[in-house]
Amino acid sequence: MTIAHSRVSRRRILAGGGAAAALLAAPKAVRAQAKALKIAVLLPRSGYLAAAGQSCHRGALIAPKVLADHGHRVELLNIDFESNVDIARTQTERAIGEGAQVIVGAFESGATLAIAQVCEQRQVPFVINIAAAPQITEQGYKYLVRNFQTGGQLLTNGLKSIKDLSAATKVDFKAAAFLHANDTFGTGQRQAMDKIFPTAGMPFKLLESIAYDPKAQDLTVEVTKIRALNPDLILLISRSADAIKLVRDMVRQRFEPKAIISPGSPGLYDEEFYQALGPLADFHIYNLPWTNPKASMTQALETAFKAAHPSNRFAVDAFNVGFTFEALLIAADGFKRAGTAAGPELMKAIRATNIADHVMIGAALAFDDKGQNNNIGTAIMQNRNRTPTVVLPAEAATMAPVLPMPGWQARA
């Protein structure tokens, strides 16, 4: 059963709180008899992160059936925190009061940190689907695990992939500008770039790092500044809405770099990006973890997705859907092994996760003593015909990479 709600009445909160108190007061043997794990999935389904949140939500909606086919029973509370950190915090409290035994979320790093604080206090396991801020797993939290790369891992792998891309295409870059949102994720990636780039051995100069407000009406000022620097490569940390503004302002100012590459961020592969820009959305590159099309669980997930969401494309949603599904898989697998939804015992089982059969590219799902999965792989993706397409590594690629990207006026 899936229950969608974004606001909870006072009566329901009190009732949920009473039920939770009764549950905690029950003997462990009684609590262990629960047949389905109750998971609250907190996502930004409205507000400025709505496109990504809704994409993750589509993965949550199909997860119960696919999990059931693999021997897991879950009950989901699907909650919209409206792209607002404070609402994420209060909705977590409310979900736990209503009996949620695990929290999954939250895509945005600021909200994820707020949720982590609540889960730590309430001793409720928190499985992170997407959030890259390094501090999430550096503050000693015992009630969380993250099945996603840290900002540093995203950037390190993303920069290395640019070398691989240049080697494959014989196209080199001389200078780059780093453009990033000034939110929690973007600022964290800027800090990681400042630390990693000087020792990464990149064959081009980093001219300047430029921050921008993702809620701004346009990025005219930032593009003017980039034009004055005249780099042949733009390194971009963005979301879809601000990536759309960036491309439009580049077209207006007739600035054409050899490539726009995200060394580890969302935005360039969202349906919103394709629909807003048409042919201008093609040929952008992003170096990210991605679903493994050869995995049997990926194929099962895609089949369920197509049946449930015929008007959406799995190829576009695969990143968000895959990581959201895997977070739910981790929680359900831990519950099955623990035999109880009691917080300490369930968290211990989740920390001991070792799942070989899963969705995303990489080795088995497993966590270090900080709760971080370090086994996640990276692919080089390029938009081709407005579809996310693997172009490297060669053994997984379905098309060859195109560099330099065609000029704006040359697009069909």
Q: How far is CA 2 from the centre of its chain?
A: 22
Find out whether 31 and 338 touch, Cβ atoms under 8 Å: no
330 domain-assigned: yes
337 domain-assigned: yes
Which domain-ending residue is among 334, 351, 368?
351
**Residues of the chain below pLDDT 70:** 1-34, 412
383 domain-assigned: yes
356 domain-assigned: no
Four-point Cα dihedral 85, 215, 183, 278, nearest 10: 110
Domain identity same for 7 and 70? yes
pLDDT tens-digit map of 121-138: 999 999 999 998 889 999
398 domain-assigned: yes
Which domain-ending residue is among 305, 334, 351?
351
Sorted by sequence, the CB contacts under 8 Å of residue 25 that are 6+ apart come out as: none
Q: What are phi and psi of 168, to 5 degrees?
A: -75, -30
Domain identity same for 130 and 243? no
Q: What is the predicted pLDDT for the residue at 120?
A: 98
Q: What is the predicted pLDDT for the residue at 393?
A: 82
Q: What is the predicted pLDDT for the residue at 20?
A: 42
Domain identity same for 87 and 37? yes
119 domain-assigned: yes
Pairing of the two strands 285-288 and 379-384 = antiparallel
Reading the block at residue 244, the tokens are: 């759309």
Query: Any idea what the CATH number is for the domain that residue 97 is in?
Result: 3.40.50.2300
368 domain-assigned: no
233 domain-assigned: yes
Domain identity same for 86 and 121? yes
Domain identity same for 173 and 213? yes
Domain identity same for 190 and 74? no
Domain identity same for 304 and 187? no
Q: Domain residues for 394?
A: 152-288+379-410
Domain identity same for 386 and 251? yes
Is the pTM of the predicted complex or chain greater than 0.85?
no
Which residues, listed in sequence order, are joined to residue 102 by a DSSP beta bridge? Answer: 39
Domain identity same for 126 and 22? yes
Characterize 322-331 residue by residue with b for buried, 16 or more Cβ atoms within 10 angstroms of its Cβ, and e for exposed.
Answer: bbbbbbbbbb
CA 376/CA 147 separation, integer angstroms = 8
Tell me the CB-side half-sphere exposure of residue 63, using CA atoms within 13 A: 34
Find out whether 274 and 389 touch, Cβ atoms under 8 Å: no
Q: What are phi and psi of 227, to 5 degrees?
A: -60, -40
Q: What is the predicted pLDDT for the residue at 181?
A: 92
CA 238/CA 180 separation, integer angstroms = 6
Q: How far is CA 322 from the centre of its chain?
A: 9
Which domain-ending residue is among 331, 351, 371?
351
CA angle 254, 412, 379 (to 5 degrees): 85
Sorted by sequence, the CB contacts under 8 Å of residue 128 that are 6+ apart come out as: 104, 105, 106, 112, 136, 144, 145, 146, 147, 148, 327
**Domain total of the chain:** 2
Domain identity same for 216 and 258? yes
Domain identity same for 143 and 240? no
Q: What is the predicted pLDDT for the residue at 21?
A: 44
CA 324/CA 130 separation, integer angstroms = 8
Q: What is the predicted pLDDT for the residue at 106?
A: 93
Q: What is the predicted pLDDT for the residue at 25?
A: 44
Domain identity same for 222 and 324? no
